[in-house]
Chain A
Amino acid sequence: MTSRDTIFTRLGRYGYFAVGGAIFFALLFAFVFVRGGYLLTVMQLAMIYGVFCIGLNFFMGYTGQASFGQNAFAALGGYGTAVLCVQFGWEPVFALIASMAIAGIASVIVGYPTLRLRGHYLAMATFALGLITYDISVQWTSVTQGYMGYSGIPPLGIGPFTIEDERMKLVCLMVILLFGLWVSGRLRNSRFGRALRAISTSELGAAALGINVARYKLAAFVIAALYASASGSLFAHVVGFISPEVFGLQMVVVTFTMLYVGGVGTVLGPAVGAIIASLLPEIVRSTGRFQDIAYALALIVMLIYVPKGLSALGGLGRSRVAEPGAGS
């Protein structure tokens, strides 16, 4: 057997898909990096949304709960970092970390009573949370500057080192996204992650094995809030401007689309979905005034033919035997 045969045999269909996907995204990233311009901004935003979606995936994918209000924590992150940097002159990195801490504490306070609800009730409660935060960001003008938004937010950096070059911003965001994915993957296959996935299948079944369902749901909610806050802060530092609209209802719709296109409950799905759903409007832009229709059609086709998301494509036709060592 040649070494080539050995590698191909070991890879299998799923391996081919993984390697192919990695090469595709590496080439895409290189193309965007070299070409620059508007695509660079699109990719930067995709990375930021990707971070948000990784968190959303913790709560919706791994734990199987519905939340339409994670944008509230992105707003906390965005405004937190803006106020701390612009008003108090904090270093961006410390402002980002502090905003995440604030969002984490807020998510515990909000999540404790809210997560007693289930299903549609939980979805509606979290939706209300997003709406309330939006209203606060509009009305509390002394802090948020209302519809005018917050400008002059410094780029990411620490001390004399700031990341002002757009290409370096993209590289920095990609590193953060990959780190977020790594953490997500590690947690998913840990004791903690298995408990979350058990809750996703059956809350009663999980409780019957000794899992404290309420505590784990809260933990997943907090983790989702931390990721959301980080993405809000990153948006503020990368774009330099935030307004209530950035964290409004549009964000909920866009991130849901990304999560389902990429694959809810999978490790890579949030990143894949964020990149594909961000680039798709650019791809269909050539259809002119039909671009919205083309975009919607493309999404519908994806959801019909790949209902488990693009990152689950490699599993099509695969035997139902898990990868060796999975879940260890």
Chain B
Amino acid sequence: MPSLIEVEGLSASYGHVAALKPVDLRVEEGEFVTVLGPNGAGKTTLLRAISRLVASQGRVSFKGQNISGLSTHRLAKLGIIMVQEGRGLFGEMTVYENLLLGAYNLGSEIEKVEGRFEQVFGLFPRLRERASQVAASMSGGEQQMLAVGRALMAGPKLLMLDEPSLGLAPKVAAEILDTLGELNRNGLGILLVEQKAPLALKLARRVYVLSSGSVRAELPANEIKSHHDLARYYFH
């Protein structure tokens, strides 16, 4: 059975600086995979390269189908959805409008859109309360809930998240990651980029350790017991 997503020799650069050296990575159906690494390791570039938000070289397959040449909006239509670092919300729009934009690909299938709203409001009841509030006026935690909620409105097959815990209180970050765990248990494939290793390792089945744009290790999450283990890979 082909992987949900398989990346072979994916590389990207900013000008002459190679941010991502050829990287191999895969996520199986329903798997929770985490990419760990220090600042500047190329984690964000990896997700952006998969989403074609930056120009990249290499092969990317989705359920066995080569999707290397597809543009960002076509990848989104396939169900490859990314929650960007900094949330990428449309701040002047309301929560409701942001969520509607998440369901953009559903067009005018009202029943499906309503179903997605119910799913998202079930996971994040606070978004229902704040539906008519302008997104920029919400707290950081609520904004992150909205970012994840908006991604779920798209009905993702693979959800990629770039440091969703960034700038959040530990309790709120844990709450959001718990929700991701619940989504994964319901069969959603997740590729998480995170600096806060303890949080991410609780959920992940497999871990890739990225440093200086290269994969330093690929191992089961339960094999990493301490920061010391990680540091060993970071500076390998």
Footprint of B on A, CB under 8 Å? 191, 194-195, 197-198, 201-202, 204-213, 320-328
Contacts and interface: CB of A to CB of B under 8 A. Distances in A.
A327 B93 CA distance: 9
13 contacts: A191-B100, A191-B104, A201-B90, A204-B53, A207-B72, A208-B53, A209-B81, A210-B73, A211-B104, A322-B132, A324-B132, A326-B132, A327-B97
Interface string B97-110: 10011101101100
Contacts of A212: 73
List the 8 closest pairs (A to B, CB-CB), nearest first. Answer: A210-B76, A320-B137, A207-B72, A327-B97, A205-B88, A210-B105, A322-B94, A201-B90
Nearest to A207: B72
Contacts of A322: 94, 132-134
Given A191-B108, A205-B84, A213-B73, A198 B101 contact: yes
Contacts of A204: 53, 72, 84, 88
B53, B91, B97 pick with most chain A CB within 10 angstroms: B97
A202 B96 CA distance: 18
Given A204-B84, A321-B137, 20 more contacts: A191-B104, A194-B93, A198-B101, A201-B90, A201-B93, A206-B101, A207-B53, A208-B73, A208-B81, A209-B76, A209-B81, A209-B104, A209-B105, A210-B104, A210-B105, A211-B101, A213-B73, A322-B134, A326-B132, A328-B96
Nearest to A201: B90
B57 interface: no
A201 to B, nearest CB: 5
Contacts, number: 91
A106 to B, nearest CB: 26
Interface residues of B, number: 33
B44 interface: no
Contacts of B132: 321-326
A321 B105 CA distance: 27
A102 B26 CA distance: 51
Contacts of B81: 208-209
B78 to A, nearest CB: 9
A208 B105 contact: no
Nearest to A216: B73
Contacts of A194: 93, 97, 100-101, 104
A208 B90 contact: no
A320 B134 contact: yes
A26 B77 CA distance: 47
A322 B131 CA distance: 9
Contacts of A198: 90, 93, 101
A328 B104 CA distance: 13
B154 interface: yes
A202 B89 CA distance: 9
A69 to B, nearest CB: 27
B82 interface: yes
B222 interface: no
